[in-house]
Structure 1
Amino acid sequence: MNNKMVELWISSEREPGSGTWFNGPKEIEYKMDKIPYTEIKLEYSSKVTTINIDVNKEFQTMLGIGTSMEETTVFNLARMSPEKRKEVITKLFDPVKGIGMNLIRVCIGTPDFTARKFYSYDDMPKGSTDPDLKHFSIQKDIDFHIIDTLKEIQDINREVKFFASPWSPPGWMKEESQKFASTDDNNLNGGKLKDEYIPALAKYFIKFLEAYKEQGIEIYAITLQNEPLFEISYPSCGMTPDQQKKLSIDLKKELVLKGLDVKIWIFDHNFQQGVEFASGVLNSEEAFNAVDGIAFHDYDGEPIEMTRTHELFPSKDIMLTERAVWGTMGADRIAQYFRNWAISYNGWVTMLDSNIGPHQWTGTPGPTMILQSAEATGVIGSKKVYDKYWCLPEYYIFGQFSKFIQRGAKRIESNYGSPETLTNVAFLNPDNTIVVVIINQTKNKQYFNIVCEGVQISGKVPAKAVATYRWYRI
């Protein structure tokens, strides 16, 4: 193989997940650096990892890789000057000048990561209901700059797709939780969906989709409930598989009636409960035909559960819609998502400030891929601006995937390897390039050979680093 045909980028970890990143930026050895490829003459062949790639054995087709634009991130972006905000958005979403993220999770109403009072789009005084949704409004999303931010992202990358997830329906649609009761008139904390409001919730989603469309933002897919098996003291809602079955059927009918081409994704929760929950939704023909995919989070269980789900429902897409990961161990986890049939990966929370905020989660978050100083850097008019920020190693490690794996890429066969040497995942892009992301979690540099279609690429990955190799298929 002509060495000039092989391109190589490397990123390295540093203190992954450490809270010390909130104190300020640090030196990072490799920051998605493009390295001139040179074939390595191997002296210790017995220690070399061989990565065998079979381009003819294809798996899932990739939808996208990205992050979330929850209100915490939007709040922090809105505090920046227009120039700095555009700079950050470019770093995240521009496929040439940035890391080219192309799939974004947005929230239907408020999540736990927000600087605002919790809200839905149809909050009513305690004891009141609004089944005809006469009071529905997304005005708060406009006032809080969520809509403006999404439009700015679209201006940077027209190929971005948005999917949306609710943390809670309006409180009046739920049985109030005594454990998580709040003093708010419209309590969004905990509680379970009432069956009688399933048709109203389907119409609520339709109103959201139409309102966003009027703002110029098309939603590609919707999940029916963020973490439906979890109730807590922030917006959340218990929802059974049977309820999601009924809701998916009602929502599909409404989508067809309104002429909206939006995917329906069920579950949106942890690996461990995925097979059982999906089976409970998809056991009727009408629900099976309504549902397009099954979304997963990575807080309980292992990625193999996505493969188990795929084997039961091979016609349904599998998505990894929420998890923050750090360092080379996190990069390996992303590789495992893809090796277990996920067509997408979305990180959760894009930018906190150096005070670890704002948020109303019940724990202490780890550092995000971009952090913003909580100290103002100036004033524009009467408004303080917060323009100092720094990128963590996770930003660059994320880019080792998002910048090079194209929408429409096919995952192709490769032997996984081991954490004690190297692990990997491989893709064939629509432009006929082969991309292999190789992860070294060890404290030593690791040598390898890639064997693919009769050619060999030899190389090494530095300690605690991620390398992306790309070449055109011969």
Structure 2
Amino acid sequence: MSTLIKSAVTTLEVEAWLSSEMTPGDTRWFEGPADPAYALSLQPKLKLTAPSASDLPTILVTPAHTYQQMLGIGTSVEDTTINNLSKMDAATRASFIQQLADKESGLGFNLFRITIGTSDFTAQPFYTYNDLPEGETDFDMKHFSIQKDVDLSIIETVQALLQAAPNVKIFASPWSPPAWMKTNGDLKRGSLKEGAEYTAALAKYYRLAIQAFEEQGIPVGAMTMQNEPLLETDYPSCYMSPERQLELAIALKREFDEHGLSTKLWIFDHNFADAMGYVTPILNDSEGYNVVDGIALHDYDGSPEVMSEIHAAYPEKPIYLTERSLWGTAGADRMAQYFRNYASSYNAWVTMLDSQIGTHQWLGQPGPTMFVQDAAQPNRYWRTPEFNMLAQYSRFVEPGAYRIGSTYGSTETVTNVAFRNPDGSLVTVVINQTQEEQSFRVLCDGQQFIAALPAGTVGTYRWIQ
């Protein structure tokens, strides 16, 4: 009897943590740190009670209704961040990496995006792993090398991440094929040259990249075949039609199979607005459907609801939100919308800029990252409130969790998304975007709890039902 009583008592409490927004997305965060009202602040435990009548806004959580399984939450390890890290001493760099991986003191990220060659967020001249003098070709890949990634501490940094958190998963994205494969002979703009020989060459190039990473102790669980394939711009980029990506996916899968690689292939890696038009020609093809393991999306144009449309069309193909930066409670709510529309992951884009908003080669001015480095004192860096906002999800939603049913709520009161972790604990992330404190009730499987969420604040609530 005493065991039963003890068990019942431990299931009657709800843990709660709060984080507040503070001038979200403002460039003032490049000037120095400041303390928001709540920063992953642990609150007194709430009581689970029997249901009662209430006029409060109510979130109905239904754990029996399960949706997609979560792969993970994380960020990018691109050259801008790594270049800034390389300016730190070894102890500071190790402490920074620990904050990315550790669930107790840091973010607890478990999913990281790396680049195949350089992206626009780099301090380096643009490069790939097979750059040649103009007019030369190398279909046999005799000049293939990832040595620049070694020299620039990219490999070392990813290795350190894997050492800090062995369960971390890595996926990779290319911004451009080598210039000699492209119609304009340039890493900027252009497209892959026509012809099966160029499709085969690019497939071999990507296969060699995955093998090279693995030889360095970096297993690449998945890759996208072209970052933003509908964009041609003045940094590494490459237009790639869905028909050409279908050909590449088939050729790349063949390369992987012939060389014993298990890396999964994710298609598209671009905006919601163009997603259905891009993925349907690939997934409606029987061979394409068989070689594609998932769908990658960005959120710079369009609505997250297209992910539910894609899920309805292709329910066996997981969906991943591979790139976006978000700020404040509006950003936390946007993340909730991703998950409510079947995203199995979320990755922020760019982990640390410095106080001079550097160093990058994007064509606009980025917003503040979750960490900012003091350009004058590289060992000094600070967290922005986005660190806290991301951790409200990443510390508590475990890999392998399932999204479960919950009513969305209202932006005029609170919104939410809910999950069931592998250990059976339930988590709901609740967002108050208003300028006033909002009280609300959560009703779940015969029990309820009541909470108050301050203005402009996100709360994460965890309990055992």
The two structures share one fold, judged by TM-score above 0.5: yes
SS in 2 for 1:356: coil
d(CA) in 2 for partners of 1:282, 1:4: 47
SS in 2 for 1:7: strand
TM alignment of 1:100-179, pairs within 5 A: 100-176=108-184
Q: Report Cα offsets for 1:205-256 as digits up to 9, x if no partner.
A: 1100100000000000000000000000000000000001001101111111
User: Amino acid of the residue matched to residue 220 of structure 1?
Assistant: G
C-alpha contact (below 8 Å) 1:63/1:343 kept by paired residues: yes
Residue 82 of structure 1, CA deviation:
1.0
Aligned match for 2:14, one of 6, 24, 29: 6
C-alpha contact (below 8 Å) 1:4/1:37 kept by paired residues: no
Partner of 1:380: none
d(CA) in 2 for partners of 1:96, 1:254: 41
Partner of 1:344: 345
Partner of 2:264: 263
**1:16 and 2:24 correspond:** yes
User: Amino acid of the residue matched to residue 463 of structure 1?
Assistant: A
Partner of 2:38: 30
Partner of 1:72: 80
**1:96 and 2:104 correspond:** yes
**1:444 and 2:443 correspond:** no
Gaps of 5+ in 2: 1-7
Partner of 1:231: 232
Partner of 1:189: 188
TM alignment of 1:52-71, pairs within 5 A: 52-71=60-79
Partner of 1:387: 379
d(CA) in 1 for partners of 2:105, 2:30: 25
Q: Report Cα offsets for 1:341-397 as digits up to 9, x if no partner.
A: 000000000000000000000000101010000003xxxxxxxxx111010000011
d(CA) in 1 for partners of 2:463, 2:47: 14
TM-score w.r.t. length of structure 1:
0.94
Q: Percent identity?
A: 51
Partner of 2:203: 202
Q: Report Cα offsets for 1:95-149 as digits up to 9, x if no partner.
A: 2332200000000000000000000000011111111111000000000000010
Partner of 1:431: 423
Residue 5 of structure 1, CA deviation:
2.7
C-alpha contact (below 8 Å) 2:14/2:48 kept by paired residues: no
C-alpha contact (below 8 Å) 2:15/2:46 kept by paired residues: no
C-alpha contact (below 8 Å) 1:174/1:194 kept by paired residues: yes
d(CA) in 2 for partners of 1:57, 1:278: 27
SS in 2 for 1:235: coil
Partner of 2:4: none
SS in 1 for 2:107: coil
C-alpha contact (below 8 Å) 1:40/1:459 kept by paired residues: no
**1:413 and 2:405 correspond:** yes
Partner of 1:183: none
Moved more, 190-199 or 159-168: 190-199
d(CA) in 1 for partners of 2:332, 2:194: 41
Q: Report Cα offsets for 1:24-57 as digits up to 9, x if no partner.
A: 111211111111124599xxx8762101011100
Moved more, 298-307 or 90-99: 90-99
**1:85 and 2:93 correspond:** yes
**1:305 and 2:313 correspond:** no
Q: Report Cα offsets for 1:75-108 as digits up to 9, x if no partner.
A: 1111111111111111111123322000000000
SS in 1 for 2:140: coil
Residue 472 of structure 1, CA deviation:
1.4
Q: Report Cα offsets for 1:303-328 as digits up to 9, x if no partner.
A: 00111111111110100000000000
TM alignment of 1:219-368, pairs within 5 A: 219-368=220-369
d(CA) in 2 for partners of 1:50, 1:398: 24
d(CA) in 1 for partners of 2:55, 2:359: 48
**1:399 and 2:391 correspond:** yes
d(CA) in 1 for partners of 2:54, 2:298: 39
Runs of 4+ in 1 over 6 A off after TM superposition: none
User: Amino acid of the residue matched to residue 434 of structure 1?
Assistant: L
User: Amino acid of the residue matched to residue 393 of structure 1?
Assistant: P
User: Amino acid of the residue matched to residue 78 of structure 2?
Assistant: E
SS in 1 for 2:221: strand
Residue 187 of structure 1, CA deviation:
2.0
Q: Report Cα offsets for 1:434-471 as digits up to 9, x if no partner.
A: 00000000001111111111000111111100000001
d(CA) in 2 for partners of 1:25, 1:4: 38
d(CA) in 1 for partners of 2:32, 2:333: 26
TM-score w.r.t. length of structure 2:
0.95
d(CA) in 2 for partners of 1:134, 1:5: 62
d(CA) in 1 for partners of 2:315, 2:174: 26
